[in-house]
Amino acid sequence: MKAKIQKDLVQLMKSGEKNKVEKMRFILSFIIQEEKDKNKELTNSEIIQILKKALKRNQESFEQFTKAGREDLALKESEEIDIIQNYLPEEMSEEDVINLIKETITSSGASSIKEMGKVIGLIKKNHGDNVDMAVVSKHVKNLLNS
């Protein structure tokens, strides 16, 4: 995935899109910094987690700038959000997430809210890249409480 981002960056540099080049370099810097911190090359799954963190940060900034009436900065954040989303896998629909949770609860034998961590851990391990863990947490709690 890192190679694809770098390749796309080169393409943007050749096409002269300075605005997008700046944003791509910013995204790539997160990945490179994390690699330096961990002192190893990151897997695609780890890169996806970094991109999700960056996306969340950008969405929060977008909301803050919109509330403050700073449309110029909100637009900049919106453009970064669009670029980051190009590299993230498609997330499962809420209905698919609920079905996945039901299957995981059945296969793990979880029966009480005390086993919520076990269910969430299994889902994160097997499907963490393409599910929103906040949605998972909410539905696991509801299904184990009922």
**Going residue by residue through the chain (146 aa), what tens digit of pLDDT does each one get?**
888 999 998 998 999 888 888 989 988 999 999 999 999 998 888 898 899 899 999 999 999 999 999 999 999 999 999 999 999 888 888 898 889 999 998 898 888 888 888 988 999 888 878 888 888 888 988 888 87
Q: Which domains does the chain have, with CATH numbers?
A: 2-87 (1.10.1510.10), 94-145 (1.10.10.410)
pLDDT of amino acid 143 = 87
Q: Which amino acid is at 96?
A: D
- Evaluate whether 25 touches 9 at the Cβ level (below 8 Å): yes
Q: Look up residue 15 and give its two tokens.
A: 């096409």
pLDDT of amino acid 29 = 92
Q: What is the pTM of this model?
A: 0.75
Q: Which residue in 115, 119, 47, 58 sits closest to 83, CA to CA?
A: 58
